[in-house]
Amino acid sequence: TLSDRLADTFKNLRNKGKLSPADVDGTVREIRRALLDADVAFDVVKAFTTTVRERALGDEVSKALNPAQQVVQIVNEELVEILGGTQRRLEFSKNPPTVIMLAGLQGAGKTTLAGKLAKWLAKDGHTPLLVAADLQRPNAVQQLQVVGEQAGAAVFAPEPGNGVGDPVKVAKQAIKFARDKVYDTVIVDTAGRLGVDADLMKQASNIRKAVDPDEVLFVIDAMIGQDAVATAKAFQEGVDFTGVVLSKLDGDARGGAALSVASVTGRPIMFASTGESLDDFEPFHPDRMASRILDLGDILSLIEQAQQAFDEDEAMAVAQKIATDSFTLDDFLKQMQQLRKMGSIKGMLGMLPGAKGMREQLENFDEREIVRTEAIIQSMTPQERELPKLLNGSRRLRIAKGCGMTVTDVNQLVQRFEQAAKMMKTVAKGGVPQVPGMGPI
């Protein structure tokens, strides 16, 4: 599945400290393949991977402490963006009734959705009226009546001899009826065909003109696959809609259609239908869908925690110093202090691949160690901190007296600093990341 493939791709990335352009390309290739496998439309995949690639090769990643995780976050952000950003709610008319029209292919789930919406709205204190404007299928009206009964909502159906056969007239009458009887929302169910056709579009478009809806919801079966784009485009051109409802998300569909439709039409996905029962229905949350597609569990929230603990620019500055061989005792102290912040994310480190050693170190970490280190370093002159080579015997004795510790303590600190500096150089050359100042793992 899409989720599995992306998860695999990111598993490889997460073990890496630094990304090369080749890494980024390899990852983007995997994402592309995964999305295509999930039936996301080709153009959408192309646009998506181009954006991800650009951002992954850009500043925000090269500056990040953990570039691989940054890429995961970029993919997530872009998915959420395509899926509509934040969740979009129904627009209610200031001048009731609010009219919601449903459109889509036959079998997409419109009539079922009408019931679901009615039940959901009624629970929220609204008084919905269902309108049977599907006069195409012989028992469509009856189906809506059954659904209405289940939802506890009134149904407006054509009366014999009173415009039967003309869904536009029925819809118009229904709006007037709703206004007279003070229903505050009107849900207009319409006919669908098995495939897109001109008559269907014309009819839906005429209904739209007649009732001037506040929302037109395009209902699409999430299992439709590559046909999603053509169908969505046809409905956008023929009727146009203000929002999308994805139905049958309870099936195997992993969200490929969601991505395609949202991306190609630029319309937000507003609801998700997840079963045949009227309660299998919920407002659509782009971020949750993105997580479903990514299926990375808690990894994203872990990344956020890690980012709070590190100041990225500071980390960059240190990396720079290591590279140019000018890591100082002040830097060493700063890093020790970073460890303190990291103490709060101990549990998290165990969950990240490659961080097990780090966690063990944190577990042995002694808060008093920082206090001692701070005391010793603060007794040094700025020059001594910049150039630890200056620290001869008499200077060490002076420092020990100044902070109330022994020369041995000072010697140990200098030794640990030298080890750390050496280790960090290894890291800078692409070795295994380690916690500075804590000795080798």
Binding mask 274-293 toward ligand GDP (x if CB under 6 A, else -) reads xxx---x-------------
Give just the sign of the alpha carbon dihedral 150, 152, 158, 160: positive
CB 249 to ligand GDP: min, Å: 6
CB 83 within 8 A of CB 286: yes
Considering only the stretches 105-113, 211-219, 250-258, 411-419, report the one whose residues sit in contact with Mg ion under the rule CB under 5 A.
105-113
Q: Of 41, 83, 108, 400, which lies in the binding site for ligand GDP, with binding defined by CB under 6 A? A: 108
Q: Which is nearer to Mg ion, 49 or 247 (CB)?
A: 247
Q: Which is nearer to Mg ion, 143 or 265 (CB)?
A: 143
Q: Which is nearer to ligand GDP, 107 or 388 (CB)?
A: 107
3 state DSSP class of 122: helix
Q: How many CB atoms lie within 10 A of CB 105?
A: 22
Which structure tokens are listed for 233? 């485009």
- When asked if residue 17 is in the footprint of ligand GDP (CB under 6 A), the reply is no
Binding mask 237-266 toward ligand GDP (x if CB under 6 A, else -) reads ----------xx-x----------------
Separation of CA 349 from chain center: 22
Q: Of 67, 84, 97, 109, which lies in the binding site for ligand GDP, with binding defined by CB under 6 A? A: 109
**Closest by CA position to 113, among listed 201, 253, 216, 232:** 216
Residues 6+ apart with CB under 8 A from 36: 42, 45
**Closest by CA position to 329, among listed 370, 388, 393, 376:** 388
CA distance 385 to 380: 6
CB 142 to Mg ion: min, Å: 11
- When asked if residue 111 is in the footprint of Mg ion (CB under 5 A), the reply is yes
C-alpha separations of 364 from 168, 303, 360, 385, 421 in Å: 75, 23, 6, 26, 20
- When asked if residue 101 is in the footprint of ligand GDP (CB under 6 A), the reply is no
Residue 307 touches which of ligand GDP, Mg ion, none (Cβ within 5-8 Å per kind): none
Q: Of 112, 242, 328, 434, which lies in the binding site for ligand GDP, with binding defined by CB under 6 A? A: 112
C-alpha separations of 49 from 162, 196, 257 in Å: 55, 30, 17
**Closest by CA position to 169, among listed 159, 155, 184, 183:** 159
Task: Read off the DSSP letter of residue 158.
Answer: P
Residues in 31-60 at the binding interface with Mg ion, rule: CB under 5 A: none
Give the count of residues interacting with ligand GDP (CB under 6 A): 17
Q: Which residue has the tokens 């949750």?
A: 288
Q: Which is nearer to Mg ion, 55 or 116 (CB)?
A: 116
Binding mask 318-357 toward ligand GDP (x if CB under 6 A, else -) reads ----------------------------------------
Considering only the stretches 45-53, 69-77, 103-111, 257-265, report the one whose residues sit in contact with ligand GDP under the rule CB under 6 A.
103-111
Rg (CA), the chain: 31
**Which chain residues interact with ligand GDP by CB under 6 A?**
104, 106-112, 192, 247-248, 250, 273-276, 280
**Which chain residues interact with Mg ion by CB under 5 A?**
110-111
